[in-house]
Structure 1
Amino acid sequence: MLGRLWARAPAALRPGLGCRVTAEWRRRYPGAERKKFYQDVGISQGEGGAFEINLDRRKLKTPQGKLFTVPSEALAIAVATEWDSQRDTLQFFTMHLTTLCNTALDNPTQRTKEQLIRSALKYLDTDTVCYRVEEPPGLVELQRNEWDPVIEWIEKRYNVVIGSSTNILGPNIPNKSKETIEQHLSSYNSWALVGLEYVVHQLKSLVLSLNLIDRNLDVEKAVLLSRLEEQYQIEFWGSIEWAHDYDLYELRSRTAAGTLFVHLCSESSTIKHKLLQD
């Protein structure tokens, strides 16, 4: 049950990173597990058309005690799959979609849609791909070859000027360009903005996030570009066994979850029920 939709999710989002990575997760998040208390997971449509998650026929609730409801059937299936994939213990630190839904529902900091937009937009002033080094030559060339195309794509896609700079203050992005991007972000609903902000925070880049959400990049490529300098250093000096691998897996997982969340919160179509069948 639920397996077919999950199989379509990005590989970085699905379980199975290996026991050593799972052990690292447990070390970094002590106490972030709980004994599994249910057997069956299902979804149902409640009042107003929202979808609910049921654990042994009991309705799931948020940390603040609100009824856990999501706006689309596709998102409900994805969240239900997270719960269905848990084994003897619930590893909440791996349930990114559930966490994002809880954030959207509880809104613990009481942020408005405008505040979510400003939070994402502020990353443009310190965007990872806009800051360039002057040396060593190999990294300078790597940044130019890998980062210039994603900036150029955004500039053409939204008819804006972003550019790059080696100055510590970053590029001088025109206010008109910022306003254009702000207008685009306003087209997202509040739920999608929660996911977008999450992706931007993972990649430290609004440029990469928009490339990713607009499907100009896949998750693996976007994560690689966000870690370009670190990857350059790793290839030069070598990596620390499992530490770098864990960080990469975790970043991919979070970025994939946030991207999927944005897409599922932006779609109004209903998943056909035959996907729920084995």
Structure 2
Amino acid sequence: MLRSLVALHCRLGQTVAFSQRHLIQRQQSLVSDLQKARCYGMATTERKKFYEDVSISQGEGGLYEINLDRRKLKTPKGKLFTVPNEALAIAVATEWDAQKDTLKFYTMHMTTLCNTALDNPTQRDKDQIITAALKYLETDTICYRVDEPPGLVELQQVEWDPVMDWIEKRYNVVIGSSSSIMGPQIPEKTKETFRQHLNSYNFWALTGLEYVITQLKSVILTFGMIDRYLTVEQAVLLSRLEEEYQIQHWGNVEWAHDYDMYELRARTAAGTLFVHLASESSTVKRKLLQD
């Protein structure tokens, strides 16, 4: 009996430590999520479909517009919905065309990201977005390691170490990892290197980058996807490594776990695609919504 109680105590301790390591990460994204939710309440609602046809057109300054029948799409703040290139316009138009009798705004991630870039609900500039994104480096998911149980220690080493090695070599930086709740001490030189790299992206792409970082709670995994070192599926699984380990040992509510997994994949994939399309300067020469 005593051994069973000791084992249970250790397991509970591991679960508490797991929760503590993720508490800081969740707090970081909470304020940002709430601010955006106030401006984009539509993202969690549904509405009856009010149009038949979706098309794109090129307007002033070479910007692309989305047309719902003969109406021009606008942002939640009433601005004309315009995107910088044809590829991004096609992606947004495809979301609107895919809607059935009811508009499910919470599935329209590309549209929401464009609205965020256009309306800029938090009124931030590039430097502020970069600073907010880099805060996640200090609490990056794969920087936090455990001392026990041995199975999870080994799993983190096998799955996370190659990604850490890759990014340190790719950007010539030092990051490291730690089993302390405070995480590793990230060198200022490393932060400056990543700041300069992020600054090379335009405002739209940074909007997408920050979105992906908040989904994965990881700058490292986000860079891994953007640089095509990791697939979306790999990055999502690596971001949930500890949680998946706990589920395997303690069980889970199957439908809820599956829903969370697929939803995170959808958001992460949309954000990653948005970054690439927002960085695209050339237009895509193809017919929209071919029969």
Q: TM-score, normalised by structure 1?
A: 0.88
| Structure-2 residue corresponding to 1:140 | 153
Matched, 1:61 2:61: no
| Structure-2 residue corresponding to 1:94 | 107
Q: For residues 197 and 143 of structure 1, what CA distance do their matches in structure 2 show?
A: 25
Q: Give percent identity, aligned residues only.
A: 76
Aligned residue-pair number: 250
Q: How does 1:38-53 map to 2 (within 5 A)?
A: 38-53=51-66
Deviations 1:162-206 (A, max 9, x none): 010111221111101110111000000000000000000000000
Q: How does 1:66-77 map to 2 (within 5 A)?
A: 66-77=79-90
| Structure-2 residue corresponding to 1:130 | 143
Query: Which of residues 226, 243, 254 in structure 2 aligns to 1:213?
Result: 226
Offset at residue 241 of structure 1 (A): 2.6
Q: For residues 249 and 222 of structure 1, what CA distance do their matches in structure 2 show?
A: 13
Deviations 1:232-264 (A, max 9, x none): 111122221301011111100100010000000
Q: Do the aligned partners of 2:44 and 2:105 also contact (CA within 8 Å) in 1? A: no
| Structure-1 residue corresponding to 2:174 | 161
Aligned residue for 1:53, secondary structure, equals strand
Q: Do the aligned partners of 2:44 and 2:106 also contact (CA within 8 Å) in 1? A: no
| Structure-1 residue corresponding to 2:198 | 185
Query: Which of residues 161, 184, 188 in structure 2 aligns to 1:175?
Result: 188
Q: Do the aligned partners of 2:90 and 2:288 also contact (CA within 8 Å) in 1? A: no
Offset at residue 277 of structure 1 (A): 3.4
Relative to structure 1, is the Cα distance of residues 252 and 31 closer, same or farther in structure 2, using a 3 angstrom cutoff?
closer
Q: For residues 112 and 31 of structure 1, what CA distance do their matches in structure 2 show?
A: 26
Q: For residues 37 and 265 of structure 1, what CA distance do their matches in structure 2 show?
A: 28
Offset at residue 273 of structure 1 (A): 2.3
| Structure-1 residue corresponding to 2:211 | 198
Quick one: which amino acid aligns to residue 230 of structure 1?
A: E
User: Alpha carbon RMSD of aligned pairs, Å?
Assistant: 1.3
In terms of fraction of residues, the more helix-rich structure is: 2
Q: For residues 224 and 30 of structure 1, what CA distance do their matches in structure 2 show?
A: 25
| Structure-1 residue corresponding to 2:255 | 242
Q: Do the aligned partners of 2:43 and 2:106 also contact (CA within 8 Å) in 1? A: no
Relative to structure 1, is the Cα distance of residues 30 and 124 closer, same or farther in structure 2, using a 3 angstrom cutoff?
closer
Deviations 1:58-105 (A, max 9, x none): 100000000000011111000000000000000001000000000000
Q: How does 1:6-85 map to 2 (within 5 A)?
A: 32-85=45-98
Following TM superposition, where does structure 1 have runs of at least 4 consecutive aligned residues deviating by more than 3 angstroms?
274-278
Relative to structure 1, is the Cα distance of residues 38 and 95 closer, same or farther in structure 2, using a 3 angstrom cutoff?
same
Quick one: which amino acid aligns to residue 260 of structure 1?
A: L
Q: For residues 44 and 174 of structure 1, what CA distance do their matches in structure 2 show?
A: 47
Offset at residue 275 of structure 1 (A): 5.9
Q: Give the number of the structure with larger relative contact order, counting CA–CA contacts within 8 Å between residues 6 or more apart.
A: 1
Deviations 1:184-230 (A, max 9, x none): 00000000000000000000000000001111001000000000001
Offset at residue 109 of structure 1 (A): 1.2
Offset at residue 274 of structure 1 (A): 4.1
**Larger Cα Rg: Structure 1 or Structure 2?**
2
Q: For residues 30 and 112 of structure 1, what CA distance do their matches in structure 2 show?
A: 23
Matched, 1:107 2:120: yes
Structure 1 gaps, min length 5: 1-28
Q: For residues 222 and 173 of structure 1, what CA distance do their matches in structure 2 show?
A: 22
Quick one: which amino acid aligns to residue 215 of structure 2?
A: Q
